[in-house]
Amino acid sequence: MDKLGQRFVAAAIAGSIAVAHAGTAENGFNSYEVNGRTVQEQLAVSDGSVAENLELMFSALDRSELPSGFWLEKGALLHRQSILQRNGKVRDDRRDSAKEAVFSDMYSELFQAAKETNQLPSLADIRLRTQRNFERFQAVPLAVSLVNYDSIDPASLEDGRLIVRDNKLYHPRGAQAYWRSGLFVSAGVTGVSSAMCTSPKMVLPSDMLISNMNYRGSPVSLQSASIQFEGSREVISVRPDVPFELPGEVQNLSGAGFNITLNTSAGVFHAASEVDVLPCGIGDLPYQPPLPHCDLPQTVATHAYAGEFGRLNARVYPASGDTDDCHQLKRALVIMDGFDILNNRNATTLWNEFGEGIDRFIDLGFDVITLDYHVGNDYIQRNGQALRTFMVDTLPTLMDAAPDTTDVAVIAGSMGAQVVNYGLRHAEMNSEEHNTRLFMAFDTEYQGANIPIGLQLELAYLDSLPGDSEALGGFIDAINSPAARQLLMHHYNSGSGTYAPSGLFNSFMAEIHGLGLPLLSRNVGVANGSGTGDNFNNGLAANLSYVAASEGVKKIYLSANTDHNGRVFHGKLKWLGILLSEWTYDIYSGALADDVRPGSFRHTPIDIAGGYNGSSDSIGTMTYAIDEHAFVPTESALGADFDDIYHEKCNSQHATLTVGNLEVFEAELIAMRDGVTPTPIEPWTTPCEEPEPVLCAQNVAWWDGTFISPTIVGASCKVANIPTGKVGFVEGQDYYLENEVECPGASTYDFVNGNCRLTIVPPGGNYSSASGNITIYPVTVPVAAFCPLNTTNIAGGDDFASYRVCEVNIPVGYTPGDIEQEGDRLVIDIGDPCPIGTPDYPGCWMGEAPAGTAPTIAADAFYYIE
């Protein structure tokens, strides 16, 4: 997990503010009488940066009494927690002007400053949405924000002074508190990963409008947008959930500014921003391409199914890192792809989704081979015969003449395990050696998969209308593909009823369970669904998709609900008030509520909404009440006679790596490698929101990429000691060390550059490390003749005719030689404030507690409570 890679580019343009000099007091304070009381004024200085002036003004505040938060619209953000963490200091304005603020920093503070924060998603939720949207659209997701917040009036800075009175900020000319409510409008990329580097497209997902605004009693919604990039004349019309190509002029740039106009239900808003995640242009997170690999010739099955031959594509990642070894493998691990609903996945897609696991499996000493399909939604048997050919005929030709072992491990996701199961059993029944000795079925549909019947009917209804969108046409074709009919428990066009399995489902399930699991391998079932009763939407009926809109003489109504007894679909179209088409479907009895029971989930409502909203023929905007549904029920994924099983405590996304299942995969592979019996998998036993009776079963993801196994201490799980001399704290699910630094004397800490800023060298000046003096020569204008902060005037005339010498007030214990000059700044380097962990606001990031636990600190150690 790379915290520094997550960014949010604010639309507020930062930069230096010209601040008029006010007052004459040497110590920076004056007294004023306001409303009969004497108050103290903190003065800005004419040559101070924005950060320095804010630092002066806020140093007089009782920080515990600040209101919810402040946003200075020129780019510097302050709120109570931020000020407490930074001991009254703010970030350097150069960082703001370069628009390099870390997203977690920016959003955490904006969240504090915002009104009605209950309407804003958590930082973790935004990160999750970013990754999900990239996986769904294969385009870099762009977030937009419309957030009401508390702010400081910028005019108060331009006046050059503010008054602190009763722990509030005032201007001396009036008694009004000098903050106000405002609206933060922004656009930017909220997170990056190496996979995003491969996409020349962006997308504006409908669920990434971050807003606490309401319009006519409902949350504001995004309708459309237009974007123009700097250096391009093209104005791009953007619809939510519809990827768009970046202009050719900016596709190869490391960063590009843009202007965006947002059309929302609450009106039109404008923002200016910049993206620095164009292909491989990631600042702190350089693109890491897939490990050295070889793409092999396509494997064609030697046995046909229904008269046709299946085909597989193979990519090899040799553990040695040397592509000359792609045909000299020592220890093979095969990773089989799952159901390819639109037949558009490939080896790169597999890397993007499973790269973390591939990397770690290689570290265990395995040569990894990934397999994907020539036709990913074809008959499972046809692809199974291709897998049989690969394991029996192709893989032996890739092995070294003297391999470490000829035993092969297989991890197969989703439908891929059915393909592998079928292929290995047919090899065994024909006395063919497939060498597989470990088979891990990853979230596989052994009892079937589920797409809500209401959503299937919605797709079919839209497909029946004239002018249906190409994207939705692709979805309905996918649902009617052979593999989908073989795996879906309910199919709208089953041939034996709307809410029933197809004949292909019944025949395939009978065949695969008749075959049984492979006989020559250890077989492990892994489910992404909860095994302890974690229902979706508390098991209650819910709306999955909804449109009610008119356009000219046309009106459309669509509503798809979860499969409970009652109406699950209603669609109708009117023209000039005449009903042209209407479908309804009710489940009168026997609804199984598969959509909301425990299992791994998919975001089908979002996929369909993206296709509908992206169609030029659509009317209105498709919305949904819940954006996910159970796809592979837990009992389905574990519905075979496995040697051992693993399920999640809480439902997770279908066929995705989690801390828990990755630990299972690694443990099984290590046991196979070392020739030992694997330790039995410890199951979760209590519901998602309840603690386990056996504590501390969840390992903690730590800063250096390792996982820490906690120890039981009373009712808590101890993770790690806090280093001596450091102070720890927790925020959300994260552990941190405070990165505050005690800078010596009057110097102040620079959070960007990691040193203590002492003073500046004015234009025309130079610093002597021998004498500790700044000499300003020649002096041409009065302003340049002032000695900067933290210096004393020791020589030079008042007529500014020649030069001025300013002695630097060097802190006790330091010498002039300890002072370093960086540009126009004099600094003291006191070392890394985060000697352990990753520097990240609001401290040094140490690790992330498991989901569903409560991270805490006690007795100078990090803990979590289940």
Q: Which of 106-120, 292-306, 385-399, 602-616 has the lowest mean pLDDT?
A: 106-120
Rounded Cα distance between 105 and 265, Å, is 29
Q: How confident is the model at residue 17 (pLDDT cuts 50, 70, 90)?
A: very low
- For residues 390 and 457, membership in a common domain is answered with no
Q: What CATH number has the domain bearing residue 435?
A: 3.40.50.1820
Q: What ranges make up the beta strands (E) of 613-659? A: 629-633, 644-648
- For residues 470 and 398, membership in a common domain is answered with no
Q: How confident is the model at residue 303 (pLDDT cuts 50, 70, 90)?
A: very high
| pLDDT mean over 618-636 | 91
Which of 56-65, 170-179, 683-692 is the most confident on average? 683-692
Label each residue of 308-340 as H, E or C. ECCEEEEEEECCCCCHHHCCCECCEEEEECCCC
Residue 727 corresponds to which tokens in the numbers above?
């102070």
> What pLDDT sits at residue 25?
30
Is residue 672 pLDDT above 50, yes or no?
yes
Residue percentage of the chain with pLDDT more than 70: 71
> What pLDDT sits at residue 12?
21
**Is the residue at 673 inside a domain?**
no
Q: Which of 137-141, 290-294, 409-413, 548-552 has the lowest mean pLDDT?
A: 137-141
Residue entry with tokens 């030069």: 803
- For residues 438 and 327, membership in a common domain is answered with yes
* Region for residue 321 given its phi and psi (left: phi exceeds 0; alpha: psi -120 to 50; beta: otherwise): left
> What pLDDT sits at residue 107?
57
- For residues 386 and 434, membership in a common domain is answered with yes
- For residues 466 and 402, membership in a common domain is answered with no
Q: How confident is the model at residue 38 (pLDDT cuts 50, 70, 90)?
A: very low
Q: What single-letter DSSP state applies at residue 23?
A: -
Is residue 359 pLDDT above 70, yes or no?
yes
**Is the residue at 692 inside a domain?**
no
Q: What is the pLDDT of residues 484-493, one digit of tens each?
A: 999 999 999 9
Q: What single-letter DSSP state applies at residue 797?
A: -
Higher confidence at residue 17 or residue 580?
580
Q: What is the DSSP string of 176-217?
A: SBSEEEEEEEEEE-----GGGGG--EEE--GGGEEE--EETT
In terms of Cβ atoms closer than 10 Å to its own Cβ (0-12, 13-18, 19+), residue 93 is: buried
**Is the residue at 110 inside a domain?**
yes
Range of the domain at 736: 700-740+835-865
Q: Which of 65-74, 375-384, 514-523 has the lowest mean pLDDT?
A: 65-74
- How many CB atoms neighbour CB 29 within 10 A? 13
CB 708 within 8 A of CB 721: no
Is residue 783 pLDDT above 50, yes or no?
no
Is residue 623 pLDDT above 80, yes or no?
yes
**Is the residue at 840 inside a domain?**
yes
Q: How confident is the model at residue 834 (pLDDT cuts 50, 70, 90)?
A: confident
pTM: 0.56
Q: What is the pLDDT of residues 183-227, one digit of tens each?
A: 767 777 665 555 555 567 888 888 888 888 877 777 888 888 888
Which of 74-78, 183-187, 232-236, 430-434 is the most confident on average? 430-434
- For residues 466 and 568, membership in a common domain is answered with yes
- Count structural domains, the chain: 5
Q: What is the pLDDT of residues 556-568, one digit of tens each?
A: 999 999 999 999 9
**Is the residue at 250 inside a domain?**
no
- For residues 851 and 720, membership in a common domain is answered with yes
| pLDDT mean over 703-711 | 84
Higher confidence at residue 294 or residue 345?
294
**Is the residue at 638 inside a domain?**
no
> What pLDDT sits at residue 505?
97
Rounded Cα distance between 20 and 45, Å, is 8
> What pLDDT sits at residue 5?
22
Is residue 452 pLDDT above 50, yes or no?
yes
Domain boundary among 175, 195, 215: 195
